[in-house]
Structure 1
Amino acid sequence: MIKTWEQLEQEQPIVLRMVRNSLMKGRLAHAYLFEGMRGTGKRDVSQILTKSILCERAIEGYRPCEECSNCKRINNNNHPDVHIVEPDGLSIKKNQIQSLQEEFSKTGVESRQKIYVIIHADKMTTNAANSLLKFLEEPHADTTAILLTEQIHQILPTILSRCQVLSFTPLSPLKMQEQLKADGMKASDAPIIAQITNDYDEAFLLSSDEWFVQAQKIVVKLYMTLKGNPLEALVALQREWFVHFKEKDQYDRGLDLLLLLFKDLLYIQLGKDEQIVFINERSQLEELALKTSSQMLTEQMTSIFEAKRKLQGNMNPQLLMEQLVLKLQEGSSVV
């Protein structure tokens, strides 16, 4: 989905303000580095900046009109004066940067301005990074470079020093939730998904992912069995959890969902019902929250955090879950 200036301004107000000021004052840097975690809108902002530079009738001197030929072609990734470089396999190679330099030694096809965007700039090989450095040291007139990275510490300090760095911050879960619902996601799905990911595209993939839908049901069912005898909970692990959660990242996601469920119980006790994410289970959770102490919930959440830490330390996932369930069950008795 092509995002408008107004939408991006809501998501990254500081970045958009800096870009707007540069455009209006005619003081664009010759090279920008957009840095921040995945899903924070770096690529969207690189596209809107590109359109602002090349737009034939920019609104108020900075906002792209979205209607002219240049705007439309940039949206369709086929403007002759805009070049996008992405990793070829696992890395961006020297020959890719050299091809870019050769292209930029020519005059712009349709205007004096030429723009290049390097996606995952941190994945440049050493030779590629050194070639880019020479390019940045002697920038061509009317050329704008935009580098994107999720790993700023992997960028050569000499490259960093030649770029204007703009840092992208994650959307708050509440803003993410509002945006997802505004764009058509079910009201019952948005709260959970906004807590799981800050990546807009991943969020909509999760909303239609049957594995994720089933994972939520299994997590809720597992919690309900914690009120029974130990054998019942361990059987639930064998019959459902171990069948559905196979990879390490799936276990981690399952633990995230379990943690969110315990947070919901705590929010209910604190009178913060508006922060509940398992909306469909609200009535059950309200009843269960009355039967558990806040201290016990806090201890159980600490156990889940510890399980996540052990999972990253390569502990056997099945053994980890069995130990966690027994520990959670110790604290699940009625107060």
Structure 2
Amino acid sequence: MTWEQLNQTQHKVVQILTNSIKKNRLTHAYVFEGSRGTGKMEVAIQLGKSYFCKERSTAEPCNECPDCKRISSGNHPDLHVISPDGQSIKKQQVELLRTEFSYRGMESKQKFYIINHADKMTPSAANSLLKFLEEPEAPTIAVLLTEHLYQMLNTILSRSQILTFTPLSRKEMEQMLKEDGISYPIAKLLTEITSNLEDARQLCQEDWIVQVRNVVLQLTEEIYSRPQQMFFTLQDKWLSHFKGKEEFGLGIDLMLLWYRDLLYTQLGEKDGLIFVDQLERLDHQALYSSQEKITKQMSAIFDAKRHLSSNVNPQLLMERLMLRLQEG
């Protein structure tokens, strides 16, 4: 990543940091706060590179010197990342960091550390960090990353510069997913079901979202033209694909998006379609459907999603939903 690339999604944060780098006015502690997938860790690593890079002439690190390469590979001796050990960040982790930083720097006197999920520090860890922030033993920059600013000690916040990372817009997120090699139809679908870039990327692991989408397309076609096959597909491909209610709920969400696209097609409003590569199928089904029928089908899906939160048998839930969708 470069500052120029990061500037495209977090302009305000990047401008503040790069101006401070150019003027040699970086503060000793930052809190990066914002939702998952907004690039907090990427910006923190980039800041570390600019801090250590001896070859840069502007804010942009060279990415070629030993410092930059070691940071990229995650083994720079004077840059440390702390993450929760289990459910929390413990005092021993902060104390170990202080001990390591008490030694003379391997490359320079400078030190840099990142605390991921800083809101998960235990009270003793937070108090230990507070002392470290107030009395660093060398030129040190601390970057604390959090999704829950209100859960952090006010005394830590008051000693840090707080930078807020804004969520990505749908178009920004869609573009980043496409840059990851994700196809346009899948990227568009992902931006509809989550606003979190990391969650979207996770859903792409092992083509999970692609497979769910294919099953949804198969089921909606069978409901329409091959109802004798839909229960076999439900048993063979749908029920075996999901682990837990959250994934199951996402599958139902995709079914809802299909029928919403069908309604938009019926109304002649195609600009907001999600299944952008299925226009011919949508047109064909819309010819043999009515707005009233599609509205009832969407209502049935809403009911199924609501009942999913109770202790209902998933197979019975889906079988009932298939029958309601068939009846319209």
Query: Structure 2 length as normaliser, TM-score?
Result: 0.85
- Of 161, 165, 168, the residue aligned with 1:168 is 165
Deviation at 1:120, TM superposition (A): 1.8
Q: Deviations over 1:76-110 (max 9, x none)?
A: 11212111112223322111100111222344332
Deviation of 1:215 (Å): 1.6
User: Who is 1:6 aligned against?
Assistant: 4
Q: 1:156-194: CA deviations, max 9, x gaps?
A: 333233222222222222222222223433334322233
The number of residue pairs the alignment matches comes to: 328
1:73 deviation in Å?
Answer: 1.3
Q: TM-score, normalised by structure 1?
A: 0.84
Q: Does 1:245 align with 2:242?
A: yes
Amino acid in the other structure paired with 2:113 = Y
Q: Secondary structure at the match of 1:145?
A: strand
Checking the alignment, whether the CA contact within 8 Å between 1:185 and 1:204 is kept in structure 2 is: no
Matches within 5 A, 1:1-335: 3-60=1-58, 62-140=59-137, 142-198=139-195, 200=197, 203-204=200-201, 206-207=203-204, 209-227=206-224, 236-269=233-266, 271-294=268-291, 297=294, 300-301=297-298, 303-305=300-302, 307-329=304-326, 332=328
C-alpha distance in 2 between matches for 1:218 and 1:295: 25
SS at match of 2:274: coil
Contact conserved, 2:2 with 2:60, CA < 8 A, in 1? no
Q: Deviation per CA, 1:281-312: give whole Å up to 9, x if none.
A: 22101222344455664564455455444434
Task: Tell me the SS of whatever aligns to 2:31.
Answer: strand
2:116–2:144 CA contact under 8 A, matched in 1: yes
1:256/1:167 CA distance change after superposition, 3 Å: farther
Residue identity over aligned pairs, in percent, reads 49
Tell me: CA distance 1:148–1:219, structure 2 relative to 1, closer, same or farther (3 Å). Answer: same
Aligned partner of 2:132: which letter? Answer: F
Considering only aligned residues, what root-mean-square deviation do their CA atoms show, in Å?
3.0
Q: Are the counterparts in 2 of residues 83 and 115 from structure 1 also a CA contact under 8 Å?
A: yes
Q: Do the aligned residues in 1 keep the contact of 2:118 with 2:145 (CA within 8 Å)?
A: yes
Distance in structure 1 (CA, Å) of the matches to 2:104 and 2:220: 65
SS of aligned partner of 1:80: coil
Q: Aligned equivalents of 1:19 and 1:207: distance in 2? A: 32
What displacement does 1:114 show?
0.9
Q: What's the offset of the Cα at 1:13?
A: 1.5
C-alpha separation in 1, matches of 2:100 and 2:129 = 13
| Paired letter, 1:31 | A
- Aligned 8 A contact 1:230 1:326 in 2: no
- Tell me how far apart the structure 2 counterparts of residues 140 and 306 of structure 1 sit (CA, whole Å): 60
Alignment check: 8 A CA contact 2:13 2:163 kept: yes
Residues in 2 aligned to 1:175 and 1:268: alpha-carbon distance in whole angstroms: 26
Change beyond 3 A, Cα 1:259–1:163:
farther
Q: Tell me, which stretches of 5 or more residues in structure 1 are unaligned?
A: none
CA shift, 1:70, in A, is: 1.4
**Offset at residue 259 of structure 1 (A):** 2.6
